[in-house]
Amino acid sequence: MAVKILRTEGIPSEEVLEVFRKFRKEVSIMSALLHLNLVGLKGYYFGEGRKALIMELMNRGDLYSLINGPNSYPLSVTLKIAFDIANGMNYLHSMSPVILHQDLKPPNILLCSDEKWGYLAKVADFGLSAKQYLASLKERAVETPVWLAPEILSGKEYSTKSDVYAFGIILYELLEHKAPFKNFDFRFLTELKQLIISGKRSSLDRIRTTSPELAQLINDCWANDPFAWPSFSQILQSLIKITQVYDSSLSSFLRTQRAFITSTSNPGLEFEPGYETCLEPHHPSYWHQFFHQAKITVNFTIPKKVLTLEKNN
Q: How far is CA 126 from CA 115, 129, 180, in A?
A: 26, 8, 23
**How far is residue 199 CA from its own chain's centroid?**
25
User: Of residues 62, 84, 103, 114, which has the active-site annotation?
Assistant: 103
**Neighbouring residues of 90: CB distance < 8 A, sequence distance ≥ 6:** 231, 232, 233, 235, 236
Between CA 241 and CA 244, with CA 243 as vertex, the angle to 5 degrees is 65
3-state secondary structure of 228: helix
**Neighbouring residues of 141: CB distance < 8 A, sequence distance ≥ 6:** 148, 152, 153, 193
User: In terms of Cα–Cα distance, which of 170, 107, 114 is closest to 140?
Assistant: 107
User: Is residue 103 among the annotated active site residues?
Assistant: yes
Rounded CA-CA distance 201/205 in Å is 12
Exposure class string for 95-126: b at 16+ Cβ within 10 A, else e:
eeeebbbbbbbbebbbbeeeeebebbbbbbbb
3-state secondary structure of 29: helix
Catalytically active residues, by annotation: 103
